[in-house]
A and B are shown apart, each in its own frame.
Chain A
Amino acid sequence: AQSVTQLGSHVSVSEGALVLLRCNYSSSVPPYLFWYVQYPNQGLQLLLKYTSAATLVKGINGFEAEFKKSETSFHLTKPSAHMSDAAEYFCAVSLSGYALNFGKGTSLLVTP
């Protein structure tokens, strides 16, 4: 079954620094991949998704992710972190396009 692994349950960056959140997937066929963000006491919100149209995907709030088949990765990046980026980030995979399988999540802390 398809699954994702998020490396690092907690990541801390300084304001203005590069954000890199790692996600590796396991799938025997090309999957659909997603990044969601969860702010405290809120539901999940889609940041971006990969649907095979382009390997570099741009999302909201300045985030982007690159699909690398050779590395089975879909890492999330942002050039310059803002305090408002502090949240929980989830990578998810789907084959059918419907049911999502989420990673364990990475908590991003942004320090002044």
Chain B
Amino acid sequence: DAGVIQSPRHEVTEMGQEVTLRCKPISGHDYLFWYRQTMMRGLELLIYFNNNVPIDDSGMPEDRFSAKMPNASFSTLKIQPSEPRDSAVYFCASSLTSGGQETQYFGPGTRLLVL
């Protein structure tokens, strides 16, 4: 299995530009999570989906952030307009409901720098 795939791995953009981060979960997994990692705030859950439906988006910092999951194999996290304080590493993770305590599998992350 290829694992969770994220693209791009690195993104440098200017303040005010739109940024789109992409994630392909592990095939067959029914949960997908977006996290943000910064030095100041650590790892924060932004939003998660179950069977392509957003379940909890209370971690999304503000309206500039949006996430979609149009199908089981693809999700996007969009920031519009971007600001320097959005600079962080964004991780996507997926898991499979199995009746027990599910393990989340993380992608390699997208390192975003907003100038």
Chain A residues with a Cβ under 8 A of chain B: 32, 36, 41-46, 49, 51, 90, 94, 97-105
Q: What are 28 pairs between A and B in contact, CB < 8 Å?
A: A32-B101, A36-B106, A41-B108, A42-B109, A43-B4, A43-B106, A43-B108, A43-B109, A44-B43, A44-B91, A46-B104, A46-B105, A51-B100, A94-B101, A97-B102, A98-B31, A98-B48, A98-B55, A98-B102, A99-B33, A99-B45, A100-B33, A100-B45, A100-B104, A101-B45, A102-B43, A103-B42, A105-B43
For chain B, give the interface size range. Answer: 20 to 34
Contacts of A98 in B (CB 8 A): 31, 48, 50, 55, 95, 102
* Contact residue among A36, A49, A90, A104 (Cβ-Cβ distance under 8 Å from B101): A49
Q: How far is the CA of A38 from the CA of B103 in the complex (A)?
A: 15
Write the residues of chain B forming the contact surface with A, with a CB cutoff of 8 angstroms.
Answer: 4, 31, 33, 42-43, 45, 48, 50, 55-56, 91, 93, 95, 100-109
A51→B45 CA distance, assembly (Å): 21
Bound-state Cα–Cα, A63 to B29, Å:
27
Q: Which residues of B contact A102 (CB under 8 A)?
A: 42-43
A32 to B101, CA, bound (A): 7
**Cα–Cα, bound, A30→B104 (Å):** 20
